[in-house]
């Protein structure tokens, strides 16, 4: 084996070992790398009240109630939903059916008190006419917005 070959294998082996190590670490700490939990995670894992966290999902249709600057709505992942109250300015994209991430704390009554509401947008980009045409022809898939 020439020195060049030896260096080549050394670099390849090193990259392989490093890649493996990083993959193991990322898998191990995967839980803390998620930006938000889904409503199902909240319901199933019984996360203690008072802990600051983020919940992500869709704003449930017909759940939005505005009362002055305070809004209440439900964040759903279709299987489960969490009721949320929030006082403040909402992002432009916020509406029913839209993906959102809310940050705040769970109170005793199982109501999520949000201090921040972020809108999530999906990976689809199209002009308005195309979106309208898709809706008209019944090919519109709202489920796409869900992650």
Partner 1 sequence: MHRFANPARFLRLAKVILPWSNAVAALCLGAGLYFALLGSPADYQQGESVRIMYVHVPSAWMGMFCYVAMAVFSAMALIWKHPLADLLAKATAPVGAAFTFLCLLTGSLWGKPMWGTWWAWDARLTSMLILLFLYFGYMALVNAFDDPERGHKAAAILALVGAVNVPVIKWSVDWWNTLHQPASVVKMGGPAIDSSMLVPLLLMAVGFKAYWISILILRGRAEIAAQKVRIIRMAQIHAAAQGE
Residue ranges of the binding site for heme: 121, 125
Site size for partner 1 (CB under 8 A) = 43
What's the closest the beta carbon of residue 21 comes to partner 1, in angstroms?
9
Say whether residue 35 binds partner 1 (CB under 8 A).
Answer: yes
Tell me which of 28, 30, 136, 143 binds partner 1, using CB under 8 A: 30
Residues 83 and 71: their CA atoms lie apart, in Å, by: 11
How distant is the alpha carbon of residue 102 from its chain centre? Answer: 9
Block residue for tokens 């992650």? 147
* Residues of this chain, 44-73, that bind partner 1 according to CB under 8 A: 56
The token pair at 81 is 């939903």
SS3 category, 69: coil
Contacts with partner 1, 94-113, as mask; x by CB under 8 A: x------x------------
Residues 129 and 9: their CA atoms lie apart, in Å, by: 55
Block residue for tokens 């109630």? 65
Contact 145, 122 (CB under 8 A): yes
Say whether residue 124 binds partner 1 (CB under 8 A).
Answer: yes
Say whether residue 120 binds partner 1 (CB under 8 A).
Answer: yes
Binding positions for partner 1, rule: CB under 8 A: 4, 7-8, 11, 14-15, 18-19, 22, 26, 30, 33-38, 56, 90-94, 101, 116-132, 144, 147
């Amino acid at each position: 084996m020439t020195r060049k070959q030896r260096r080549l294998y050394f670099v390849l082996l090193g990259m392989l070992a490093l890649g493996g190590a990083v993959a193991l670490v990322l898998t191990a700490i995967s839980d803390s790398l998620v930006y938000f939990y889904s409503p199902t995670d909240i319901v199933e894992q019984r996360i203690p009240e008072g802990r600051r966290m983020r919940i992500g999902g869709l704003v449930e249709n017909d759940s939005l109630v505005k009362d002055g600057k305070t809004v209440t709505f439900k964040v759903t992942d279709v299987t489960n939903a969490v009721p949320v109250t929030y006082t403040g300015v909402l992002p432009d994209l916020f509406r029913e059916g839209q993906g959102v991430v809310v940050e705040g704390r769970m109170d005793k009554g199982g109501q999520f008190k949000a201090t921040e509401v972020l809108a999530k947008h999906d990976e689809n980009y199209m002009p308005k006419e195309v979106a309208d045409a898709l809706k008209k022809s019944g090919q519109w898939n709202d489920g796409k917005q869900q992650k």
